[in-house]
Structure 1
Amino acid sequence: MSGFKWIGATIGWALGGPIGAIIGLALGSAGDAFSSGKLGSFLNEGESTGRRTRYGTGGYNQQQRPQTHSGDFEVSLLILASVVIKADGVTDPKELEYVRSQFVSMYGKERANKAFRLFKEINKQTINTRQVSLQIQRMMDHPSRLQLLHFLFNIAKSDGMVVDEEERQIASIAGYLNINSRDYNSIKAMFYNSSDNAYKILEITKAASNDEVKRAYRKMVKKYHPDKVEHLGEEHKKGAETKFKEVQKAYEYIQKERGM
């Protein structure tokens, strides 16, 4: 059995189109080369919402957005993490180690080692960010895309700060993923220190009334609640809890600041 057979068992929509081409090349480079026939079969192993999903080569017939599975999210993460890490022209060992440590915490050591091996091969490729991101946008649900964005900022911040080139690349990805400016700025504010960050996280301004603050908090709790990504599996639900805690911290900060 291929060392990366676990991918085919969990991925539905991701292994088609530009993402499928990237993963296929990475698998071959990693030593898991397939004949063209076997690779085609491999790319169709995943299921999504009870049916096979194909697009990218001959288009796709999509009546509704398929549910994102753990493998879909994982492959999307591997590719976009590579884009962000290379944004400033330097592959920082701290960022690579962060990716590896996150994989270990999410997937366990054995699966993480395989994922990181694949990631290193992906990292050697020139990736068309627009094509990959648009494929993800078409097929991935909104809560999962928000979680993906949060992880990309985590990677950028892993060496101590998010540099301008990284932020611009993440902003570009967010645009392709159809993440609006309010959602983007809310997640971005979790990784910067400024006097109004707590308000940005709740998607309000300092001029908001106390009642508006409370309403904004309730809205953000619903948006970022970890249960929104429970379909990705416990490994990614835990990652969503970090984002959720930032919302709680922001609200507590504003409460203390205002004496609410």
Structure 2
Amino acid sequence: MIKWFAAILGAVFFRFPGAILGFILGSLLDTTSGKNGRGFKTVFSQQQKITPADFELNLLSLSSIVIKADGKVNQTELDYVRRYFVSAYGKEHANATFRSFNEIIKSRQISAQRICMYINQHTRYPSRLQILHFLFGIANADGIVSDSEASEIGKIAGFLRINFKDFESIKAMFFKTGDHAYKILEIEKSATDAEVKKAFRTMAKKYHPDKIQHMDEIHIKGAEDKFREVQKAYDQIKKERGIV
């Protein structure tokens, strides 16, 4: 397959970072190289899901961008990613994965835009929302999401084609401001009680764990976390307004 050949070439010329980028670029070429009656298929005609190995590699690469966003590598954030992979794939697999992650962390040649392009072509929107939630979880592992981390995650969200309101909703789950409950529900503080109730139903449906049943259990747990944040935001607004 092209992606493996490209990974080997990348490793030969640029060592491990080249292997990562070669694999991602080769994967894109693999996607476009199948032929039909009119010539080459476009990447947008492909409906195949991203493979577990592809997903892990891309997720680790995005994780490294967030971890290095504030100019240092925080051990608490590294531990967060490690616990995530242990929960998702088991300790033995996580140990093997983290040997690669150490190299990814050292790399300066990771393109979030290329990675997100590949993810966009092979995952559905609810899955990308969960990736965004995971990245904010990394940034928040040390108790605070810095402006530089939020900025990098914002760029990644743009590359993942996540709309602004959804980005602000998930961000508000980690930034507890005076109006964060309203931002989570994607409404203004001036919304009527009826609009609040409607927004809750809409957001509860959007973040329902059933939306990502095709993903690993750990991602489903993340969806459950988002779902609970929506419920907490609604309960807070109900209490403030005395909504029955």
Fold match (TM-score > 0.5):
yes
1:144 to 1:73, Cα distance in 2 relative to 1, 3 A = farther
Backbone CA RMSD of aligned residues: 2.9
Name the residue aligned to 1:99. Answer: 81
1:21 to 1:145, Cα distance in 2 relative to 1, 3 A = farther
Alpha-carbon distance, 1:69 to partner? 5.0
Residue 175 of structure 2 corresponds to residue 188 of structure 1: no
SS at structure 1 position matched to 2:214: helix
SS at structure 2 position matched to 1:54: helix
**Structure 1: distance between partners of 2:144 and 2:186:** 23
Residue 35 of structure 2 corresponds to residue 54 of structure 1: no
1:21 to 1:160, Cα distance in 2 relative to 1, 3 A = farther
Name the residue aligned to 1:116. Answer: 98
Name the residue aligned to 1:179. Answer: 162
**Structure 1: distance between partners of 2:91 and 2:160:** 30
TM-score, structure 1 normalization: 0.77
Structure with larger RCO (C-alpha < 8 A, sep 6+): 1
SS at structure 2 position matched to 1:208: coil
1:210 to 1:16, Cα distance in 2 relative to 1, 3 A = farther
Name the residue aligned to 2:199. Answer: 216
Bigger fraction of residues in helix: 2
1:142 to 125, 130, 142: 125
* Counterpart AA for 1:140: T
TM-score, structure 2 normalization: 0.82
Identity %: 51
Structure 2 unmatched ranges of 5 or more: 34-39
**Structure 2: distance between partners of 1:253 and 1:163:** 25
Structure 1 outlier segments of 4+, above 6 Å = none
* Counterpart AA for 2:238: Q
Name the residue aligned to 1:74. Answer: 56
1:215 to 1:21, Cα distance in 2 relative to 1, 3 A = farther
* Counterpart AA for 1:145: R
Q: Report 1:1-260 matches (<5 A).
A: 16=3, 21=7, 25=11, 29=16, 54-55=31-32, 61-62=42-43, 63-68=45-50, 70-126=52-108, 127-260=110-243
Structure 1 unmatched ranges of 5 or more: 1-14, 34-38, 45-51
Contact 2:76 2:141 (C-alpha < 8 Å) held by counterparts:
yes
Alpha-carbon distance, 1:29 to partner? 4.9
1:41-91 deviation per Cα after TM superposition (whole angstroms, max 9, x unaligned): xx88xxxxxxx95249xx863314433454443332111001111111101
